[in-house]
Structure 1
Amino acid sequence: MQHEFSLRAEWATNTDRPHPQRGFTREVTIHADGPGELPGSAAKPFHGDATRWNPEQLLLAALVECHILSYLYVAGEAEIEVEHVSVRGELTLEAGSDGGQISSATLYPEVVVADTMQLARARELHDEAHRQCFIARSVNFPISLEVPHQHQMPQLPQFSNRLGAPIAVLKPRRAKKPSQVSGNEDARLAAIRAERDAAHEDPNASAQETKSAAEQAQKTNAPSEQTSFYDQVGGEPTFRKLVHEFYQQVEADPEFKAMYPEEDLGPAEQRLRLFLIQYWGGPTDYSQLRGHPRLRARHMPFHVDTKARDTWLKFMRNAMDTLDLAPLHYDTMWDYFERAARAMQNQH
């Protein structure tokens, strides 16, 4: 099967804006049915207009767009729900006396998926997408694929502006150095106090001894830089209380409880507790007991409409309010629950 593509490019002299060195501009206009006109030019090193698209950029754009579209296809075949794909491209042109040529290109793709457990597989699919990209298969220069190590949430989302968005949060990785909200200020004050106390107890102590005492106090009191979100919020007792408070409300609401297939809510409470513990960086007992979470698939048999979603969120908000969470931790957790609930909704 063959597919034909066509467009037209035009150049016309511009006596009002002659090129200062060679007497003509490099401005080209590309026309195609549908998208319309695209302003083109030579690259700036070749006396072109840097505000217009040059051929090298257009070639790189074709590679990047083809990779994205190919990736969406292979991800669909693999039944991976993709929320965002971005590809940064770099292209090298080696110019010489013979005119030169493109010597190489490198693509740096990143992907955000709905289910954090599928991220590793989703990243692997970039190789297959690259193999299937017909633009990449058609050029005669090498193309490298560099899939950077990534986090799906490089910063806290503004969840108040994302109502209705599908879930897009990865299982939290190792935390960065905690901010003052999560305890750094307390550690700093503890170090100051230790330095003061050391000087008070031994006026003859050297400056180095006093400094060492302060550093030891900071190490003792400061949160670990490698602490997971699970540990930061108190570990298993926090999630046990959260989930128990949630299911106490479910038990007291006959209409909402009717959605659960088991009369005894104990197993459901355990499943949610283990899932949240694993999701936020704790032990992986959930996957060992139940395999892949497959949240959407597990919720599909149940009628989850807007009312059920809002009730679930109300109960979870009430349960969170019983915890002593720092504001940053509270907002992070609530943002996840909001988007998770909306992702599980399958009815209006």
Structure 2
Amino acid sequence: MSRLHHYRTVVTWTGNKGTGTSGYRDYSRDHELAADGREAILASSDPNFRGDPARWNSELLLVGALSQCHMLWYLHKCATAKVVVTDYVDTAEGTMTETAEGGHFTEVVLRPVVTVASPEMVETAIALHADAHKACFIAASVNFPVRHEPTVRVAG
């Protein structure tokens, strides 16, 4: 059975310095990303493209979405498999190649460090990363590889 889910966001440009886009350097890339019932995210473009380095940018949000999706599916798979995760931290990194036409991501690498409750859970905990990757909606939607370099530790 197929179910449709819809996600609505609103992006509002806040970077008009008084003359709009009268020139490439005459406007800010600042904007807000909002969704109903949520606090707005202050965003900009990557600092390499005249953006504000203190704000989120779409490239960081994409890498973050891949990391979040993987983590949520991974925790679900672990709970179902009776693998008790007590801590999870992922330091994800995306690589983008800039081209004359724009650019594209060439890969994202997720590096989750997972802590499990007992040594007998380690092997299954490592294997479940592949299952989480197959289930992740975001990873299934991108046209570049999403690799995983997990580390699994035992609590205590």
Q: TM-score, normalised by structure 1?
A: 0.41
Q: What fraction of aligned residue pairs are identical, expressed as a percent?
A: 34
**Contact 1:108–1:147 (CA under 8 A) maintained in structure 2:** yes
Q: CA deviation at 1:100?
A: 1.4
Q: Partner amino acid for 1:71?
A: Y
Q: CA deviation at 1:80?
A: 1.3
Q: Partner amino acid for 1:6?
A: R
Matches within 5 A, 1:110-149: 110-148=113-151
**Contact 2:122–2:153 (CA under 8 A) maintained in structure 1:** no
SS across alignment from 2:138: helix
Q: CA deviation at 1:120?
A: 2.0
Structure showing greater relative contact order (alpha-carbon pairs closer than 8 Å, 6 or more residues apart): 2
Does residue 108 of structure 1 match 2:106?
no
Cα distance in structure 1, aligned partners of 2:113 and 2:36: 31
Partner of 1:7: 9
Matches within 5 A, 1:242-253: none
Q: CA deviation at 1:21?
A: 5.9
Out of 63, 66, 69, the position equivalent to 2:69 is 66
Q: Partner amino acid for 2:53?
A: A
Does residue 93 of structure 1 match 2:96?
yes
Q: Partner amino acid for 2:119?
A: T
Partner of 1:179: none
Per-residue CA deviation, residues 215-267 of structure 1 (Å, 9 max, x unaligned), is xxxxxxxxxxxxxxxxxxxxxxxxxxxxxxxxxxxxxxxxxxxxxxxxxxxxx
Cα distance in structure 2, aligned partners of 1:118 and 1:106: 24
Cα distance in structure 1, aligned partners of 2:7 and 2:24: 36
**Contact 1:105–1:144 (CA under 8 A) maintained in structure 2:** yes
SS across alignment from 1:120: helix
In 2 relative to 1, CA 2–21 (structure 1 residues): closer, same or farther, beyond 3 Å? closer
Q: Partner amino acid for 1:3?
A: H
Cα distance in structure 1, aligned partners of 2:70 and 2:37: 22
In 2 relative to 1, CA 76–40 (structure 1 residues): closer, same or farther, beyond 3 Å? same
Q: CA deviation at 1:102?
A: 1.1
Per-residue CA deviation, residues 18-70 of structure 1 (Å, 9 max, x unaligned), is 9x961000001011123220001000100100100010000001000001100
**Contact 2:93–2:110 (CA under 8 A) maintained in structure 1:** yes
- Structure (1 or 2) with the greater strand fraction: 2
SS across alignment from 1:100: strand
SS across alignment from 2:37: coil
Query: How many aligned positions are there?
Result: 151
Q: Structure 2 regions of 5+ residues with no counterpart?
A: none
Q: TM-score, normalised by structure 2?
A: 0.89
**Contact 1:14–1:25 (CA under 8 A) maintained in structure 2:** yes
Matches within 5 A, 1:1-348: 1-12=3-14, 13-15=16-18, 22-148=25-151, 150-152=152-154, 168-169=155-156
Cα distance in structure 2, aligned partners of 1:123 and 1:111: 9
